[in-house]
């Protein structure tokens, strides 16, 4: 496994507009991972089969992606999905529909909320 090393952070000279917190010096720990280059991994048969399946799936996806003329729409969708996921990790929650409306430039005040079927039906 990797190791932790302790270092001393020395804050730069205080300047105009530098917050107090950034003027503090102190100790911190940095994680130094083990080297992966040249390392040999022993995988169980199940894990090796899973890795092989994943490798084949990536190869198929790569072949399909090359067949697409324009992947910009897919790239935008994946970028938005990653943004929403990382915001979720940080405790920010937003509905995907709201993100799409914002990307489309739709003013949320101009969206009419759908009514329930029971409210619109007549007898």
120 pLDDT above the threshold of 60? no
Domain count, the chain: 1
Q: Give a yes or no: residue 116 inside a domain.
A: no
Task: Report the alpha-carbon angle 62-66-67, nearest 5.
Answer: 120
User: Can you list the positions of beta strands (E) in 19-119?
Assistant: 26-32
Q: Give a yes or no: residue 119 inside a domain.
A: no
Q: Give a yes or no: residue 110 inside a domain.
A: no
- What does the pLDDT look like over 35-86, one tens digit per residue? 888 888 899 999 999 999 999 999 998 888 777 767 787 888 888 888 888 8
Domain, as residue range, for 56:
3-35+43-105
Q: Give a yes or no: residue 55 inside a domain.
A: yes
Q: Give a yes or no: residue 57 inside a domain.
A: yes
Q: Give a yes or no: residue 94 inside a domain.
A: yes
Note the pTM of the prediction, 2 decimals.
Answer: 0.33
Q: Give a yes or no: residue 91 inside a domain.
A: yes
């Amino acid at each position: 496994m990797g190791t932790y090393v302790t270092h001393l952070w020395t804050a730069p000279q205080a300047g105009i507009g530098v917050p107090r917190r950034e003027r503090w010096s102190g100790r911190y720990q940095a994680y130094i991972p083990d080297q992966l280059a040249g390392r040999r991994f022993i995988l169980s048969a199940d894990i090796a089969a899973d890795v092989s399946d994943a490798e084949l799936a990536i190869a198929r996806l790569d072949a399909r992606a090359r067949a697409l003329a324009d992947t910009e729409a897919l790239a935008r969708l994946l970028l938005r999905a990653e943004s929403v996921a990382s915001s979720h990790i940080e405790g920010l929650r937003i509905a995907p529909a709201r993100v799409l409306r914002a990307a489309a430039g739709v003013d949320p005040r101009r969206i009419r909320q759908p009514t329930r079927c029971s409210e619109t039906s007549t007898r």
